Structures are given as structure tokens and as C-alpha cells.
Chains A and B, each alone.
Chain A
Amino acid sequence: MISAISSALPFLLDGLWMTFKISLATIFFGSLLGAMVGTVRASPLRSLSFVLGLYIHALRGTPFLIHLYAVYFMLPATGVAWLQFDAITASIIALSLYTSTYVAEVVRAALEAVPRGQVEAARSVGMSTLQTLRHVVVPQALKLMIPPMGGVYVIIIKGTSIVSVVGVSELVRAGEQAAQRDPSHMLVIYGLVALMYLAYCYPVLRIVRWLETRFGAGVTINI
């Protein structure tokens, strides 16, 4: 068993590194897109906000596998040159779209949780809409966003496991390959894979709980 672990470990660590890179890229692009969608959803732009609501429901209502396959198979089939992605790019795009729906809900809930009087006071001292956002609303909303964003990050880490189907050699894929080489130790290898996810996600969840006790629960969204 020790030898099975030591022979599988280098592959699994490579996989974990890939999982780490993809999850970091996704939290960046997903948050960027989600912040834009969420800000519009919280704004008084009714019709745009309705359209983005449909976008969120469409992504929420379908499994991530379909988003991934849509980006990886449907977009290249259009024949447009810049829609031909390699597996890693397609994975990051699909994961970012998926993540953006959660981030948008967090951002919207946080922006709406800032008391109305704050905005009115800022407007009445002559601040413009942008100034009000920049100096009054966003600083207060950011504090409310931090704990739920930790939960979103864990969702991303777990979501990266699915991109193994398009051939990205992240942790699950590395585990599958190691298990093929050494089928008698399948249990050990998949156990190790699970432990590595645990080692990555559990600290994040602990930090979230610490932030909640330190700064309050923030906004809660239905995930």
C-alpha cells in the first residue's frame, strides 16, 4: 500500500496543482463577470436586469456538464475561428460562467443590503451616482460579500472535478489514470484524491466560519 501511495502521489500532486490553477483563474474571471451581472441586477435598469435574471436561471437550471459540453462542442461547431478552444480554456470559460451566477447573487444581495438611507444621504450631500457607489455603497457591501464568497470558492474547487471529462489533467483525471495503472489499489488512490480535495476545501470552509464569527454572517444566498 505504501508503494502504491508513493507511486501515485507525484501524478496526484500534478493534478492538484492543475486544479489549483484552474480554480484560481475561475474565481478571478467568474467574480469579474458576476460582479458586473450582480451590479446591473441591483441597479434600477429594469429590462437589462430582467434579461440577466433569465441568464442566471438558464445557468442555474441546467447541470454544469451541459455548460461545459456546450462551450467545448457547440461553440467550435459554429465555425467561428476564435470560438475554437482547447480543453483548459473551455473549462475555465464554462466554470466562470457557472460561477458568475453565484457571484451575481452574492453581489446583488450585498448591494441591496446596504440601507437605503445611506444612498439617500450620499445623494443629498451632492455625490454623483458613481461617487455614491464608490465611497458609500461598495465599501459596506464588500464586507457582506466576503463570507459567502468563500462558499462560492469551494463550489468552484468541487466544480473543477467535472472538467476531467474533456481531458483536462486535473486531480480527478490524475486519479483515474493512476487507478488504471494500478487497479488493485483503486480504493487507496480515490481515497487520496478525496483527501486532497478535503485538504484544499476544508481550510476555506474554516476561514469562512471564522470570518462569519468575526465580521457577522454577511449576506446569505440560496446556493
Chain B
Amino acid sequence: MCPARIAAPGVIMKVPANMDWLVDIYNFRVVAQFAPDLVRGLVATIWISALALSIALVVGTLTAFARLETRAGDRIGATYVQVIRSTPLLVQIYLIYFALPELPLLGRRLDEFECGMLALGLNAGAYMSEIIRSGIEAVPRGQVEGAKSVGMSYVQRMRYVVLPQAISKVVPPLLGQTAILVKDSSLVSFIGVFELFSAGLAILSERLMPNEAFMTLAACYLFIYAILLFLATQAQRRLGGAQ
């Protein structure tokens, strides 16, 4: 992460003479000047990812159940998943941003942030619906039949038998998909949303310092990735799920 220390105007941070070679490759004083922006960008990335994740979980769960329970739902859900999987996220973002008209309920068009969030959510939702669906399908048929035979209702079967088993299988891959979602959120900078990537790109465009820009960005994204990877392995170990 980036140190949140800023050099006051006119004050040059002292660097030991034997560190000069490092400043040539990676000038951390410049990065320190951009630190407030980078922190705001990091927060924005986490915020848009969290909102997109909530959309994705809702859409993914609804799609998974629609596909498992009704024939028409399976048809529609399969089309949704195929279309999302066969087109690049960038095109989906552009389509939502440029093509979505004024919404009747809202009385205005969605702004850049909302479009980006929606596109990311719908994209991840398709992949997550596949994960959730295969998690539910992996619960042995006999479990459902056993629950039926002791007189459980549909809601009870789901609540007490199917979902507890499915969740342990589903959580680790969902965290992996979340890591992909965070990386993909860098693409919303294309439609002018301020987030981590656009904050880091400013170091390139204002100071022409590619090393400082991209090494810092890579470190910030790796930081988020490492946390999610840790959570995924922990979940796998605790829940004894997939694999």
C-alpha cells in the first residue's frame, strides 16, 4: 500500500544517498504525492465492487433457481448466461452506458458510476449463477427425496437440507469470482468512472512515470487479491467444500 505521507510544498523528503538507484526505478516521493488520490481510488474500487457483488449475488441466485425450477426460466437463464459469456465485458459496459435510455421510474439516465456498477453486476451474475447452480445440483438427489419423505415443504427442504450443503461448495469459487470482479472493475475507468486504475493512470499522464504508475497499481490490486485468496482458502478449509 501507499504511504499516506505527503511532502509539504518546498520540503524535500530526505532519501539516503545509497537509495538513489531505487529512486531511478521507482520514485516513491512522487507516489507519496499521489497517495491521497490512490487511497480514494482504492476506496472507490472496493465500493463499486461491493455494490456490483450484491447485484451479482441477487441476479446469480435468482437465475440459478429459475433455471433449476422451471423450463421457461431455464431457457431465459441459459440465454442470459450464454450472451454474457460470449461477449467481452467492455462491450457490455459500452452497451449499457451508451444505449440505455432515460429510465421511466428514475426520470433520468443512469450516470457513469451506476452504469459501470450495473454492467459489472450483470456480468459477474451470469458466472455466479453457474457456480450456484452447480453447487445446488451437486447435492445428492437422495437428500432431497429423504427430506420430502419426512414431510418437509419446499422452503424447509431448501433451508435445512439443500442450501447448507450447497453453500459449503459454493463459497470458495464465489470468492474466486469476486477476485475477478475486482480486477474487471478497472474497465469502468473507460467510461470515466474514477477508481483505482484511473487514479494510478494520473501518475502516467501527469508525470510521465510509467513505473511508478503501474507498479503501484499492481501492488494495490495484488493486495486485494491476496485478501480474497486468503479468504477463499480459509473458506475451503473451514467448510470442507469444493475439491
A70-78, A83-91, A121-129 - the one binding chain B: A70-78
Report the nearest A residue to B197, measured CB to CB: A65
Is there a chain B Cβ closer than 8 Å to A194's Cβ?
yes
Contact between A197 and B173, CB atoms less than 8 A apart: no
Contact between B186 and A65, CB atoms less than 8 A apart: yes
Is there a chain A Cβ closer than 8 Å to B214's Cβ?
yes
Residues of B contacting A157 in the complex (Cβ-Cβ under 8 angstroms) = 88
Residues of B contacting A172 in the complex (Cβ-Cβ under 8 angstroms) = 88, 90-91, 94
Give the docked Cα–Cα distance between A191 and B94 (Å): 10
B12-20, B35-43, B52-60, B217-225 - the one binding chain A: B217-225
Pick the contact of A63: B83, B98, B186, B226 (CB < 8 A).
Answer: B186
Q: A60-B225, A61-B222, A63-B186 are in contact. Are A198 and B83 (CB under 8 A)?
A: yes
**B210-242 interface bits toward A, Cβ cutoff 8 Å, 1 = contact, 0 = none:** 110110011001100110010000000000000
Report the nearest A residue to B183, measured CB to CB: A63
Give, as a whole number of angstroms, the nearest-CB distance from A20 to chain B. Answer: 14
Main SS at interface, chain B: helix
Pick the contact of B225: A61, A160, A205 (CB < 8 A).
Answer: A61
Give, as a whole number of angstroms, the nearest-CB distance from B122 to chain A. Answer: 13
Give, as a whole number of angstroms, the nearest-CB distance from B65 to chain A. Answer: 22
Report the nearest A residue to B184, measured CB to CB: A63
Is there a chain A Cβ closer than 8 Å to B51's Cβ?
no
Give the docked Cα–Cα distance between A77 and B187 (Å): 24
Contact between A154 and B176, CB atoms less than 8 A apart: no
Is there a chain B Cβ closer than 8 Å to A36's Cβ?
no
Contact between B190 and A165, CB atoms less than 8 A apart: yes
Contact between A194 and B221, CB atoms less than 8 A apart: no
Give, as a whole number of angstroms, the nearest-CB distance from B195 to chain A. Answer: 11
**B66-101 interface bits toward A, Cβ cutoff 8 Å, 1 = contact, 0 = none:** 000000000000000011011111111011001100
Contact between A222 and B210, CB atoms less than 8 A apart: no
Residues of B contacting A175 in the complex (Cβ-Cβ under 8 angstroms) = 91, 94
- How extensive is the interface on chain B, given as a class? 35 or more
Pick the contact of A62: B89, B213, B225 (CB < 8 A).
Answer: B225
Q: A60-B225, A63-B183 are in contact. Are A197 and B210 (CB under 8 A)?
A: no
Is there a chain A Cβ closer than 8 Å to B4's Cβ?
no
Contact between A73 and B99, CB atoms less than 8 A apart: no
Report the nearest A residue to B190, measured CB to CB: A165
Is there a chain B Cβ closer than 8 Å to A51's Cβ?
no
Q: A61-B225, A194-B95, A222-B176 are in contact. Are A158 and B88 (CB under 8 A)?
A: yes
Is there a chain B Cβ closer than 8 Å to A140's Cβ?
no
Pick the contact of A191: B88, B95, B217 (CB < 8 A).
Answer: B95
Residues of B contacting A113 in the complex (Cβ-Cβ under 8 angstroms) = none
Pick the contact of B197: A60, A63, A187 (CB < 8 A).
Answer: A63
Pick the contact of B211: A61, A74, A194, A198 (CB < 8 A).
Answer: A74
5 closest residue pairs by CB, A with B:
A61-B225, A161-B88, A201-B86, A73-B210, A158-B88
**Interface residues of A, Cβ cutoff 8 Å to B:** 57-58, 60-66, 69-70, 73-74, 77, 154, 157-162, 164-165, 172, 175, 179, 186-187, 190-191, 193-194, 197-198, 200-202, 205, 222
If A77-B211, A172-B91, A179-B98 are given as contacts, then 4 extra A-B residue pairs at C-beta distance below 8 Å, sorted by A number, are A61-B221, A62-B217, A65-B187, A201-B85
What are 28 A-to-B residue pairs whose CB atoms are below 8 Å?
A60-B179, A61-B179, A61-B222, A62-B217, A62-B221, A62-B225, A63-B184, A63-B197, A63-B221, A64-B183, A65-B197, A66-B186, A66-B221, A69-B210, A74-B214, A77-B211, A154-B85, A158-B88, A159-B88, A165-B190, A175-B94, A187-B98, A193-B91, A193-B94, A200-B86, A201-B86, A202-B86, A205-B86
